[in-house]
């Protein structure tokens, strides 16, 4: 019988749940874009975003998604013929490296298996061998949303420092930003790439580059910084629209202002901790299921798991059956499995649970309970007691 008459729940790793406060903040007529409250509000929002990133650099924004933020970062720091190292252990790292190649940059790939952290030893060696500092930049994704691995950005910086290398450190924090710890200044990140539809709980459409002083200097010689992508007018433009390369995304700015306010009310360290507890709740259930049958966390080592998203492996095709059953019968939408290689399509033996952004225990426990119902309904073999284990995490036991 049909049961799902309440709210549906989108448990995918972005776009994430939009808080009622964010939706309500956008219920306004079109604001003036040359003067008035929108301008001050945006200044406050951007100051808040820099506090959340622990960044003292410039914050530049685009009307765009994560792909726009990626291309903006590369266009402003590199020129055709430059060489970079891409640390790649998942689909998103791979796509970013391919974009660099398409922009005429020579990319040295350091590939690691999707269930392993990026290889900082190999990075240190390659940088150490590069005595003329031909390598301009190192690209690394903090959380690769396909595998749900979390790379240690401080360790990447340490390898660069130990090799005594001057390359820029460019980091994709699209999935992790405002979910997982980020210390941009302390970790020596030169450009941090982010977008608004994951941890920032705002409808897709705003892309960000947080830029260190060093990257700001470098960008003056990057020959790909064409008028639309160029950071410069977006920081120094006299009129508010110049900061967006044209008409500002007014209602996204209204929504984002409320989202940043919510994060600052919670305190970003508390937000990180809330994500960690919710992630442990998910992992506790999966560990119990994994005692029998084929369900398991794709990333075995807890220390390198993202706390924003979890990739779960199943028997062949089971993931697809679970996703279909759960959506039809419970109104929960799970994330599809993505193969680790860029462009390789969907993995039907994997699904993902997004636990990023505006979430509470009933949403997490509800999602896990509905997955458990799917396992029962589809007669997929699994260990018992998963929900009890998940509840123990929420109970602090
Ligand atoms: C979602 C995501 C992207 C892509 O963002 P889009 O908004 O879909 O362009 C890039 N990198 C990571 C790590 C992501 O999670």
pTM over 0.85: yes
Q: How far apart are CA 310 and CA 115, in angstroms?
A: 12
Q: What is the mean pLDDT of residues 323-349?
A: 93
List the residue whose alpha carbon is closest to atom 9 of ligand 1: 66
Q: Does ligand 1 have an atom closer than 6 angstroms to the CB of 22?
A: no
Chain centre distance of CA 151: 12
Res. 122 pLDDT band, cuts 50 70 90: very high
Q: What percent of the chain has pLDDT over 70?
A: 100
Count other Cβ atoms within 10 Å, centred on residue 24.
Answer: 12
Q: Does ligand 1 have an atom closer than 6 angstroms to the CB of 258?
A: no
* pLDDT value, residue 80: 96
Res. 178 pLDDT band, cuts 50 70 90: very high
Q: What is the mean pLDDT of residues 195-209?
A: 98
Q: Which of 16, 114, 175 to mutate to test the pocket of ligand 1 (most atoms within 8 A of CB)?
A: 175
Q: What is the mean pLDDT of residues 263-270?
A: 98
* pLDDT value, residue 32: 98
Taking the CA of residue 141 as reference, the ligand 1 atom at the shortest distance is 13
Chain centre distance of CA 60: 17
Q: How far apart are CA 195 and CA 237, in angstroms?
A: 22
pLDDT of 341 over the 90 cut: no
Q: Does ligand 1 have an atom closer than 6 angstroms to the CB of 354?
A: no
* pLDDT value, residue 340: 86
* pLDDT value, residue 223: 81
**Pairing between β-strand 206-211 and β-strand 191-195 as defined by DSSP bridges:** antiparallel
How far is ligand 1, taken at its centre, from the CA of residue 67, in Å?
Answer: 7
Res. 87 pLDDT band, cuts 50 70 90: very high
* pLDDT value, residue 224: 79
Q: Does ligand 1 have an atom closer than 6 angstroms to the CB of 339?
A: no
pLDDT of 318 over the 90 cut: yes
pLDDT of 294 over the 90 cut: yes
Q: Does ligand 1 have an atom closer than 6 angstroms to the CB of 175?
A: yes
- Find out whether 157 and 187 touch, Cβ atoms under 8 Å: yes
How far is ligand 1, taken at its centre, from the CA of residue 338, in Å?
Answer: 13
Three-class HEC string of the chain: CCCCCCCCEEECCCCCCCCHHHHHHCCCCCCCCCCCHHHHHHHHHHHHHHHHHCCCCEEEEEECCHHHHHHHHHHHHCCCCCEEEEEECCHHHHHHHHHHHHCCCEEEEEECCCCCCCCHHHHHHHHHHCCCCCEEEEEEECEECCCCEECCHHHHHHHHHHCCCCCEEEEECCCCCCCCCCCCCCCCCCEEEEECCCCCCCCCCEEEEEECHHHHHHHHHCCCCCCCCCHHHHHHCCCHHHHHCCCCCHHHHHHHHHHHHHHHHHCHHHHHHHHHHHHHHHHHHHHHHCCCCCCEECCCCHHHECCCEEEEECCCCHHHHHHHHHHHHHCEEEEEEECCCCCCCEEEEEEEEECCCCCCHHHHHHHHHHHHHHHHHCCCCCCCCHHHHHHHHHCCC
Q: What is the mean pLDDT of residues 305-324?
A: 97
Q: Does ligand 1 have an atom closer than 6 angstroms to the CB of 177?
A: no
Bridge-partner residues for 192, per DSSP?
Answer: 171, 210
pLDDT of 342 over the 90 cut: no
Count other Cβ atoms within 10 Å, centred on residue 362.
Answer: 11
pLDDT, tens digit, for every residue of 350-369? 999 999 999 999 999 999 99
pLDDT of 139 over the 90 cut: yes
pLDDT of 134 over the 90 cut: yes
Res. 1 pLDDT band, cuts 50 70 90: confident
Q: What is the mean pLDDT of residues 263-286?
A: 98
- Find out whether 135 and 84 touch, Cβ atoms under 8 Å: yes
Residue with tokens 């994997």: 350
How far is ligand 1, taken at its centre, from the CA of residue 9, in Å?
Answer: 20
* pLDDT value, residue 2: 85
Q: How far apart are CA 161 and CA 234, in angstroms?
A: 31
Q: What is the mean pLDDT of residues 135-148?
A: 98
Q: Does ligand 1 have an atom closer than 6 angstroms to the CB of 150?
A: no
* pLDDT value, residue 86: 98
* pLDDT value, residue 64: 98
Q: What percent of the chain has pLDDT over 90?
A: 95
- Find out whether 214 and 194 touch, Cβ atoms under 8 Å: no
How far is ligand 1, taken at its centre, from the CA of residue 15, in Å?
Answer: 10
Q: How far apart are CA 218 and CA 79, in angstroms?
A: 11
Q: What is the mean pLDDT of residues 185-210?
A: 98
Q: Which of 170, 174, 209, 356 to mutate to test the pocket of ligand 1 (most atoms within 8 A of CB)?
A: 174
254 φ, ψ (degrees, to nearest 5): -65, -45
Q: What is the mean pLDDT of residues 119-144?
A: 98
pLDDT, tens digit, for every residue of 47-72? 999 999 999 999 999 999 999 999 99
Q: Which two three-digit tokens encode residue 85?
A: 């190292």
pLDDT of 284 over the 90 cut: yes
Chain centre distance of CA 187: 17
Burial class (CB in 10 A: 0-12, 13-18, 19+), 84: buried
């Amino acid at each position: 019988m049909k049961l799902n008459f309440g709210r549906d729940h989108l448990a995918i790793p972005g776009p994430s749940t939009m808080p009622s406060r964010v939706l309500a903040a956008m219920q306004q007529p079109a604001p003036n874009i040359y003067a008035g409250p929108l301008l001050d509000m945006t200044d406050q929002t951007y100051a808040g975003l820099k506090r959340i990133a622990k960044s003292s650099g410039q914050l530049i924004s685009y009307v765009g998604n994560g792909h726009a933020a990626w291309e903006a970062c590369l266009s402003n720091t590199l020129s055709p013929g430059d060489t970079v190292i891409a640390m790649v252990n998942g689909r998103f790292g791979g796509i970013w490296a391919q974009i660099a190649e398409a922009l005429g940059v020579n990319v040295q790939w350091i590939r690691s298996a999707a269930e392993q952290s990026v290889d900082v030893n190999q990075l240190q060696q390659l940088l150490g061998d590069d005595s003329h500092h031909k390598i301009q930049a190192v690209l690394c994704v903090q959380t690769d949303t396909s595998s749900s691995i979390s790379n240690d950005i401080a360790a990447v910086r340490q390898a660069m420092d130990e090799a005594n290398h001057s390359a820029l450190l460019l980091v994709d924090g699209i999935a992790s930003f405002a979910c997982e710890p980020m210390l941009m200044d302390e970790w020596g990140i030169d450009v941090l790439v982010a977008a608004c539809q994951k941890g920032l709980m705002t409808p897709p459409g705003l892309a960000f580059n947080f830029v260190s002083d060093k990257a700001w200097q470098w960008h003056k010689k990057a020959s790909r910084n064409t008028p639309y992508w160029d950071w410069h007018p977006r920081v120094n433009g006299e009129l508010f629209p110049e900061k967006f390369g044209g008409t500002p995304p007014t209602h996204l700015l209204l929504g984002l202002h409320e989202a940043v306010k919510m994060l600052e009310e919670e305190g970003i360290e508390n937000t990180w901790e809330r994500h960690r507890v919710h992630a442990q709740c998910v992992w506790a259930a999966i560990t119990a299921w994994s005692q029998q049958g084929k369900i398991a966390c794709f990333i075995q080592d807890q220390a390198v798991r993202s706390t924003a998203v979890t990739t779960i492996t199943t028997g062949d095709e089971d993931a697809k059956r679970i996703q279909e059953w759960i959506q039809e019968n419970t109104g929960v939408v799970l994330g599809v499995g993505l193969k680790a290689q860029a462009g390789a399509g969907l993995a039907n033996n994997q699904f993902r649970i997004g636990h990023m952004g505006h979430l509470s225990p009933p949403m997490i426990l509800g999602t896990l309970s509905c997955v458990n119902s799917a396992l029962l309904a589809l007669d997929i073999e699994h260990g018992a007691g998963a929900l009890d284990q998940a509840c123990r995490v929420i109970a602090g036991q």
